[in-house]
Amino acid sequence: MKDTEIIEILRSKLSVPGGRHLYGVLGSYSALKSFEKKLRQAKTPDGKGFPKPLSVNRGILDAILDEEFQQPC
């Protein structure tokens, strides 16, 4: 799927009234970095910029202390 197609799908989903929205985009790190640049240039249905995407991987790794990885099982 192309970046522009993903952004258009996100825009259509965000135009539905409701509470919070949570969507995920999967891909290689390089593809996600490229997608993030395009997403930051796009506008939401209300004309605002998309918020900065969050990395689930980074969030998980940041939540686990390095010392926990060094302990034997």
The span from the CA of 59 to the CA of 52, in Å, is 14
Domain range enclosing 64: 3-70
Our CA dihedral for 51, 55, 56, 60, rounded to 10 degrees, sits at -120
Distance CA 57, CA 68 (A): 17
Residue, of 71 and 4, whose pLDDT is higher = 4
pLDDT of residue 73: 64
Count Cβ atoms within 10 A of the Cβ of residue 11 and give its class: 0-12 exposed, 13-18 middle, 19 or more buried: middle
Q: Into how many domains does the chain fold? A: 1
Instruction: Write the DSSP symbol of residue 45.
Output: T
Q: What digits encode the pLDDT tens for the residues 6-52?
A: 999 999 998 888 778 889 999 999 999 999 999 999 999 889 999 88
